[in-house]
Amino acid sequence: MKRKHKQLVSQGKNVIFLLIFLFAQIVRAEQIDSRTEWGAPNLQGVWKNATVMPFERPTELGSKRAYTVEEAKILERRAQAAVEKNNIALDPSRPAPTAEALPPVGNYDLFWTDRGMFLPTVNGEYRTSAITSPANGRIPERRAEFNGQNKIIRANRPDRNDGPEGRSLGERCLVAFGNSSGPVMSPVMYNSHMQIIQSPGYVTILVEMVHDARIIKITDERNPASPVLQKWMGDSIGRWEGETLIVETKNYNPWHTYRGAPTKTLTVTETFKRESPNKIIYGFSVDDPSVYSSDWSGEYPLSQISEPIYEYACHEGNYGIIGILAGARRLESMAAQGIERQIKQ
């Protein structure tokens, strides 16, 4: 019996030693993966920022920064129930719908959408909004003088149906819809995916929506030509502070707006820090003294996914734009002939 006991003890020690060895190898692999070959913090991978968390905090929550675990679960269940309801099959024998306004893109069924149904934590908190400053979690008021100037700007823009210049940049496939590619990068109803690729001296963020690629140069000095070049997503330069990538962007194309406001004096500062192997905390700060009454900032969790980024085959001059403009000309022709249209929009 003593001999058998010794054998069991010896086997147990071997198992413990094996587990310790395997754990050490896992830790070592993670330590190696946490750095690129040239020694920079490794942010590479495919990430998604789709979440139940809204960009702005609901007004009724006031200064409440985070949900409890129970509240977060309720919020997730509501989002999941709404998706399940929208996924109910339609009755094939239903009568034809009455003529009415065409539905917005938001009426896409679940085949087309990829809504956030979970609430990932940010630094251990179930946040009530992406915006954390100001304390109410909402975008500060716009300056009164800006509102007057913006009316003049809008009045001088081409009508949305006069030509392609009147359509949104997303419709024209020039930049992503809903500021998906940023900065500030925020989730939309589908394709809220991005791939971060690094090389010595550069970080590239490839956003799946409209295939935007933002190339960030790691440098302390901005290209002196950037105020003239005015890229669609602005001129981004980055620097490392410990494990955090800090990116500052300015000098946007004048056609590019952020939340309906011109970007002439806009500066966005972003931070990227890996909280765990499968999560990056993405921070943003918006500074535009000509538009907002104060600076504002916030954070999003980026969750790593195993799926690849697919081609988003969108191009300016696509048949959708041709159809929209041809339809507008047809409506004008009908109006000239006194023909009343049956569908109001």
On whether the pTM is more than 0.85, the answer is no
Structure tokens at 77: 């269940």
Predicted pLDDT of residue 34 = 87
- 17, 165 contact by CB (below 8 A): no
| pLDDT score of 114 | 80
Q: For residue 24, what are the contacts with CB-CB under 8 A and spacing of at least 6?
A: none
Rounded mean pLDDT of the chain?
A: 85
- Beta partners for residue 203, in sequence order: 198, 216
CA angle 131, 137, 139 (to 5 degrees): 80
In whole angstroms, what is the distance from residue 263 CA to residue 257 CA? Answer: 6
Q: Regarding beta strands 212-218 and 235-241, do their DSSP bridges make them parallel or antiparallel, or are they unpaired?
A: parallel
Burial class (CB in 10 A: 0-12, 13-18, 19+), 263: buried
CA atoms of 173 and 245, how far apart (whole Å)? 29
Instruction: Outline where 156-238 has alpha helix (H).
Output: 226-229
What b/e sequence results for 287-300 when a residue is b if at least 16 CB atoms lie within 10 Å of its CB, and e otherwise? bbeebbeeebbbbb
For 115, the token pair is 């809504």
Which pLDDT belongs to residue 231?
Answer: 92
pLDDT value of residue 157:
81
Give the SS3 label for residue 194. Answer: strand
CB 51 within 8 A of CB 193: no
Judged by DSSP in three states, 231 sits in strand
Cα 137 to chain centroid distance, Å, stands at: 18
d(CA 249, CA 295): 15
Model confidence pLDDT, tens digit, residues 252-283: 999 888 998 999 999 999 999 999 999 999 99
Write out the chain's pLDDT in tens, 345 residues. Answer: 544 444 544 555 554 544 444 444 444 444 447 899 999 999 999 999 999 999 999 999 999 999 999 999 999 999 888 878 777 777 888 887 666 655 655 556 666 778 788 999 999 999 999 999 999 999 999 998 887 777 777 777 888 888 888 888 888 888 988 888 989 999 988 889 999 999 999 999 999 988 889 999 999 999 999 999 999 999 999 999 999 999 999 999 998 889 989 999 999 999 999 999 999 999 999 999 999 999 999 999 999 999 898 888 888 878 888 888 999 999 999 999 998 876 665
